[in-house]
């Protein structure tokens, strides 16, 4: 029996176009240092810059605003490091549902202030802006929640922070390739993405830095990325990242994803004691999150896995310990019984069918054991 992979929000398999683009740069003279002036180096540089154009095109940015990194985690840490350095005493304001990379990087400054969210996981804009006191260093606002899918009022947050003269970082790792991202139109100062979330390779990402903004680099030791991120560029991964961005058809893929997660939610909510988490309408199209009364998350995950379905519970970076979800705790809902299903470019209707058959049986069996 084949497997049904419904954990694309954690990582999505590399698209064929990304794999093909990477192969040419993995070995032989093509695997040259893009900083060198010889022919091989210039070819590698051309590949990096072509990918930069492609990433910028997907995200509505200028090419020169794209700084390649190892992924969104590094991008987030670089954003916090640079912004906090500009205002060493300023607060770093973090909505309670941000990814652990945002929370942990911000907490390390010793100046983190947590902003409230509502029961759907949406940022309370007025309450957040009340925390943006003069001299604040940075405000975070994710574009869409990585766990429950709720879209955030990021444009309102950015506008309010610009009025107050405070930098804003947008974590778009969950949203890029799923909904339209327009860095220029949004007016944010910093934006983070990961290639592997949208069908590119693991180990590649980008930090978008608004034109004219100068931040101290997190990684030093070389002049790569116009002295904004030291270390030789990973040409194969960057080429794969660019190819994945070009291969995307955001509108068509979003429509397919929404239809599939709507089916997932309809089927899951037909089981007694199952509730939906997050905004059912204004959400990322590829994520569905539910809470299940009377059973533990670990049992549901294992039961689904035995039935051939890969799913997830809790936030991606705490799954090994199956810890209570900080996102759901911030929302004020049951934090230990969540199930997240997420679809992607390779998901089929058969994958959804497999889940819809297995889920009621797994829940019923676990409840029977518990009673």
What confidence tens digit (pLDDT) does each residue in 299-317 have?
A: 999 999 999 999 999 744 4
Give the contacts of 296 (CB within 8 A, at least 6 positions apart): 336, 337, 366
Segment 17-31 shows an average pLDDT of 91
| Top CATH class, 16-247 | alpha beta
Alpha-carbon span 211 to 67, nearest angstrom: 12
What confidence tens digit (pLDDT) does each residue in 109-141 have?
A: 999 999 999 999 999 999 999 999 989 999 999
What's the pLDDT score for residue 335? 79
| Domains 4-9+249-370 and 16-247 fall in the same CATH topology | no
Q: CA nearest 356: which of 285, 257, 261, 256?
A: 261
What confidence tens digit (pLDDT) does each residue in 218-253 have?
A: 999 999 999 999 999 999 999 999 999 999 999 999
Q: Which of 141, 161, 289, 317 is catalytic?
A: 317
CATH for the 4-9+249-370 domain, from 3.10.620.30, 3.40.50.12280, 2.102.10.10, 3.90.1150.10: 3.90.1150.10
Assess whether 317 carries a catalytic annotation: yes
Domain ranges across the chain: 4-9+249-370, 16-247
What's the pLDDT score for residue 18? 98
Segment 81-106 shows an average pLDDT of 97
What confidence tens digit (pLDDT) does each residue in 40-69 have?
A: 999 999 999 999 999 999 999 999 999 999
Segment 204-218 shows an average pLDDT of 97
What's the pLDDT score for residue 315? 42
Q: What is the distance of C-alpha 131 from the center of its chain?
A: 25
Q: What is the pTM of this model?
A: 0.95
Q: CA nearest 117: which of 143, 98, 92?
A: 98
Alpha-carbon span 116 to 334, nearest angstrom: 17
């Amino acid at each position: 029996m084949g497997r049904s992979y419904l954990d694309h929000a954690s990582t999505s398999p590399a698209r064929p176009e990304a794999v093909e683009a990477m192969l040419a740069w993995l070995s032989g003279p093509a695997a040259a240092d893009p900083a060198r002036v010889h022919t091989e180096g210039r070819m590698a540089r051309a590949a990096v810059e072509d990918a930069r154009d492609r990433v910028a095109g997907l995200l509505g940015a200028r090419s020169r605003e794209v700084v390649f990194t190892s992924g969104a985690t590094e991008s987030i840490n670089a954003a916090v490091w640079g912004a906090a350095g500009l205002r060493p005493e300023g607060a770093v304001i973090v909505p309670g549902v941000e990814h652990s990379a945002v929370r942990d990087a911000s907490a390390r400054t010793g100046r983190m202030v947590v902003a409230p969210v509502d029961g759907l996981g949406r940022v309370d804009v007025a309450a957040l802006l009340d925390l943006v006191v003069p001299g604040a260093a940075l405000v975070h606002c994710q574009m869409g929640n990585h766990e429950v899918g709720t879209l955030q009022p990021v444009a309102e947050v950015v506008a309010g922070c610009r009025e107050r003269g405070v930098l804003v970082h947008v974590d778009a790792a969950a949203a890029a390739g799923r909904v339209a991202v327009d860095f220029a139109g949004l007016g944010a100062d910093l934006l983070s993405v990961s290639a592997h979330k949208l069908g590119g390779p693991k180990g590649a990402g980008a930090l978008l830095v608004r034109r004219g903004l100068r931040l101290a680099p997190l990684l030093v030791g070389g002049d790569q990325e116009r002295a904004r991120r030291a270390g030789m560029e990973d040409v194969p991964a960057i080429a794969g990242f660019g190819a994945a961005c070009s291969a995307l058809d955001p509108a068509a893929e979003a429509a397919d994803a929404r239809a599939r997660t709507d089916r997932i939610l309809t089927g899951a909510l037909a089981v007694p004691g199952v509730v939906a988490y997050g905004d059912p309408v204004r959400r990322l199209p590829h994520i569905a999150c539910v809470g299940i009364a009377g059973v533990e998350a670990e049992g549901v995950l294992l039961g689904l896995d035995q039935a051939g379905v890969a799913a997830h519970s809790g936030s991606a970076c705490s799954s090994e310990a199956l810890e209570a979800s900080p996102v759901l705790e911030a929302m004020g809902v049951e934090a230990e019984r969540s199930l997240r299903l997420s679809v992607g470019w390779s998901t089929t209707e058969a994958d959804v069918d497999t889940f819809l058959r297995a889920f009621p049986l797994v829940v019923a069996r676990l409840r029977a054991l518990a009673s």
